[in-house]
């Protein structure tokens, strides 16, 4: 099992929304995005997999293409970056 962490700066309001109101915020802890503060959200592999299940019409939708891995909120796209876990 991979243990990658992905981070994205979406702004404080969007970070709060992703962590508390997005459909995936209602799942078990390991499948939820985590608001790290300062507008940054972190996704574990499981949380990223869960949010990939959202449809294109839902805020929080993920795209993964030649332009990178991005989370969409409204018409705005925010690029996720792979973050090395502590001790890696």
10-residue mean pLDDT profile of the chain (88 residues): values are: 87 97 95 97 96 94 93 96 75
Predicted structure pTM score: 0.89
pLDDT at 3: 83
Question: Residue ranges of the domains in the chain?
Answer: 5-83
* Residue pair 80/8 in contact by the 8 Å Cβ criterion: yes
Give the position of tokens 């909120």.
73
18 membership: H or E segment, kind and range: helix 12-20
pLDDT at 1: 47
């Amino acid at each position: 099992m991979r243990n990658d962490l992905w981070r994205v700066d979406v702004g404080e309001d969007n970070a709060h929304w992703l962590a508390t109101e997005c459909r995936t915020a209602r799942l078990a802890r390991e499948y939820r995005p985590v608001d790290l503060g300062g507008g940054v959200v972190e996704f574990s592999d499981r949380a990223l997999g869960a949010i990939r299940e959202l449809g294109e019409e839902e805020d929080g939708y993920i795209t993964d293409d030649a332009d990178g891995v991005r989370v969409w909120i409204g018409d705005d796209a925010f690029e996720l970056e792979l973050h090395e876990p502590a001790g890696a």
